[in-house]
Amino acid sequence: MIFFIISVIVISLIGTLLHFLYDISYHNKVVGIFSAVNESTWEHVKIALTPTLLWGIIDGLVYGSNPNYFLAKFISLLVIIILMPALYYGHKAIIKKEIFILDIISFYIVIITSQYLFYLLLRINEVPFIIQYLSCIGTFLLFGGYMIHTLMPAKSFLFKDPLTNKYGYKGHSEEFSIIKNKKVRK
């Protein structure tokens, strides 16, 4: 249980930092691969996926010998990809407006749920080898998809920055940052 709590805290802290790291790094493209480069739904999924993938180094050392490890990791990553947009668009559809604090709460709910399922799946009876094998492949495919959608975002509402109506790196341009700063000063 203590490892679960530590994982939630570490992933949450790193994810929160990743929301701002692209700006802090003066829009470094390499940093942008792993951090949010705009305000699209995908970029918010990414700031939960990145630290969960990084945490995989730690939990892999601790739980990697567990036969259900890749199933647990695959499901924990899949939960982030599905639950983050579901919560965001769900509360937006019900309330009919953007409420910043709900976005933040959703982020932490997603991380807690993802990590909780990870630890639950480690405790179930050993799954058949084919499930373990497919989960391992699925984990690597999710990581590959993560990289592809980061570098070449699809022209979909999930990847479109609602503030600039652009995708990927272009969704967070210097021009927009300057306009935003001028509005704040007035």
Categorise residue 156: left if φ over 0, alpha if ψ from -120 to 50, beta otherwise.
Answer: beta
Confidence of residue 174 (pLDDT cuts 50, 70, 90): low
Q: For residue range 49-71, what is the model confidence (pLDDT) as tens digits? A: 999 999 999 999 999 999 999 99
The overall average pLDDT reported for the chain is: 89
Helix (H, G, I), strand (E, B) or coil at 96: coil
Note down the domain range covering 123. 2-185
Give the model's confidence band at 173: pLDDT under 50 very low, under 70 low, under 90 confident, else very high.
low
List pLDDT tens digits, range 117-159: 999 999 999 999 999 999 999 999 998 888 888 888 999 999 9
In this model, does residue 182 exceed pLDDT 70? no
pTM of the full structure: 0.86
Of 31, 46, 33, nearest to 84 by C-alpha is 46
The structural domain count of the chain equals: 1
Distances (CA, A) of 2 to 104, 122, 153: 23, 15, 37
Distance CA 69, CA 28 (A): 34
The whole-number pLDDT of residue 186 equals 36
| % the chain with pLDDT above 90 | 66
Q: At CB < 8 A and 24+ separation, what contacts does 129-133 make? A: 131/71, 132/67, 132/68, 132/70, 132/71
